[in-house]
Structure 1
Amino acid sequence: MDFEILHYDIDGVATAVRVIGKGPAVLALHGAATIEGTDWARGLADRFRVYLPHHPGFGDSGEATHIAGMQDIVVHNLRLVAALDLDRPHLVGHSMGGWMAAEMAVVAGERFGKLVLNAPAGLNDPDHPGADLSAIGPDALPGYLAHNVDVALRFFPGGAECPPLDAFLAARERESRALGNILKVHGMGHPNLRRWLARIPNETLIVWGEHDRMLPASQAPIWQELIAHARTLLVPQVGHFAMQEDPRVVRGIGDFLAS
């Protein structure tokens, strides 16, 4: 089964959406880069139609220099859902995309079905801090993304799923600028996110790799406590790229969405 690529103009921003599968709609939001691609979604495609947009300035989507924080991305995505004409799609977010999905559910949870937050960023809990990206060198980064570092290395220069070096570097530079626009106000989170999460009405699954070095799994109980209808799936022997490291993670997400 191959991906389709759809193109939309969302308030002047050229937005690319990869789509695969048939069934109930799932909107899946990537993290702070597009390094790991979208092949993981094939594990849902037999039961769901999965929509995987590239955020403004990321991947195949156009620039959006007006972005001045996460709230602009939340509005962009809500308008994208309307353009796609999706009726209460399930919402899945990984890392920064998990923070994004959580804020979308806070303000418009009734527009979505179930919610999956896979190692979500955003809380910045001082007792359970995430990794300091500025202190991680390029050679060390794969070890922060996957417990089995060989899985992450597939997506980096020399790996089987990495584009040519010049394309890889150009994408990282471009996405770094776009990420900076999202983070320029509050960094990787919002100081009031903890207060907002109680507004999420959706049945929610918190997914976390027990060996996540980017965002610690010790945050999972906090998210579960703050979201009324949440439960947690802790996955052994995987890291931040849990869906790429163990296909059972994707199957577990699918079982939750289908139940």
Structure 2
Amino acid sequence: MYYPRALPRRRQLNGITFECLERGEGPPLLYLHASEGLDPDEAVIARLAENFRVIAPAHPGFGLSELPRTTRTVDDLAYFYLDLIDAEGWDDLTVVGSSFGGWLALEIATKYAHRIGRLVLDNPLGLRFAERADRDFIDLFQLPPPDWSRHFLAGAPEDERDWSAEPEDVALRAARNREAFTRFGWAPYLHSPALKARLHRAAMPALVLWGEEDAVASRGYAEAVARVLPQARFQAIAGAGHYAFHDQPEAVARAVADFALTPQAAAQAKA
């Protein structure tokens, strides 16, 4: 896994100070990061920035972004992004969410469908399809954090870094990222019980990506996400695990560009 470091810019929104990364030029793309936080050198950001103006905040509670006391759920986090969309004046926005960020993207899309032109979900969490006694995801919180790399990344070894030897700001960001992911994902486990019933509101064109070596969620889960969205299609990414954006950044960025920038996609988004 990567080493979380300082993002180049801090911003304020409704009294909340948050870290934010901005790259590239072109139509706006809001990138919602996964549970490990946001790496300013993440290759997928650079690839996306070749075609889009990418805005990638560190979610409230992640990195060094402030966490308001009233923000307790992923649904609460979505309202931070509704305010950001309003503040930026975005319309016909492309939203890309990876893993935990995909869950957050779904919450946003059910509330602000009229402002979002296209939605890309890269190995999203957030929904439940399994029977009561079964799971849609492996139980990450029963695994020691060094084991997480092997489940998030294709072919990755156990993460054996010595955090006591890391710079203080790096260790602090990593700790806050893990704490925030646990806070928002612990119970109910990695899903919002009310979300599935709201998905009819997310009627914009959508693309669901799934890494073929994902050890967190199955292909069946990802295909089910695509089926319950009104206008979604499914695409597998070869050589990628749950963090497809990290394993195959070029393939993910290419899938986003092909989906969001083709004349057919543009026409469909404006229809």
Following superposition, the deviation at residue 80 of structure 1 comes to 1.1
Partner of 2:255: 252
Partner of 1:214: 216
Uncovered stretches (5+) of structure 1, i.e. residues with no partner: none
Whether the 8 Å contact between 2:200 and 2:230 is mirrored in structure 1 is yes
Q: Of residues 5, 11, 14 in structure 2, which corresponds to 1:11? A: 14
Q: Of residues 21, 26, 39 in structure 1, which corresponds to 2:43? A: 39
- What is the rounded CA distance, in whole Å, between the counterparts of 2:195 and 2:58 in structure 1? 23
State the SS of the aligned residue for 1:249. Answer: helix
Partner of 2:154: 147
Partner of 2:138: 131
Instruction: Note the aligned Cα RMSD (angstroms).
Output: 2.5
Whether the 8 Å contact between 2:63 and 2:174 is mirrored in structure 1 is no
Q: Of residues 54, 58, 61 in structure 1, which corresponds to 2:58? A: 54
- What is the rounded CA distance, in whole Å, between the counterparts of 2:49 and 2:8 in structure 1? 15
TM-score in terms of structure 1 length? 0.87
Query: For 1:178-217, what aligned pairs fall within 5 Å after superposition?
Result: 178-183=180-185, 186-217=188-219
**Structure 1 residues 172 and 234: CA distance shift in structure 2, 3 A:** same
State the SS of the aligned residue for 1:93. Answer: strand
- What is the rounded CA distance, in whole Å, between the counterparts of 2:184 and 2:153 in structure 1? 24
* Cα deviation 1:182-207 (Å, max 9, x = unaligned): 34663421112222112211100000
Following superposition, the deviation at residue 104 of structure 1 comes to 0.8
User: Is residue 68 from structure 1 mapped to residue 72 from structure 2 by the alignment?
Assistant: yes
Whether the 8 Å contact between 1:67 and 1:181 is mirrored in structure 2 is no
State the SS of the aligned residue for 2:18. Answer: strand
* Cα deviation 1:116-147 (Å, max 9, x = unaligned): 00111011332562111122223322110111
State the SS of the aligned residue for 2:235. Answer: strand
State the SS of the aligned residue for 1:139. Answer: helix
Partner of 1:241: 243
Following superposition, the deviation at residue 254 of structure 1 comes to 1.5
Following superposition, the deviation at residue 8 of structure 1 comes to 2.7
Whether the 8 Å contact between 1:157 and 1:165 is mirrored in structure 2 is no
Partner of 1:157: 161
Uncovered stretches (5+) of structure 2, i.e. residues with no partner: 1-6, 263-271
TM-score in terms of structure 2 length? 0.83
State the SS of the aligned residue for 2:222. Answer: helix
The amino acid across from 1:75 in the alignment is Y
Following superposition, the deviation at residue 73 of structure 1 comes to 0.6
State the SS of the aligned residue for 1:114. Answer: strand
Give me the identity figure in percent.
Answer: 27
* Cα deviation 1:190-234 (Å, max 9, x = unaligned): 112222112211100000001101222221221111111100111
State the SS of the aligned residue for 1:240. Answer: coil
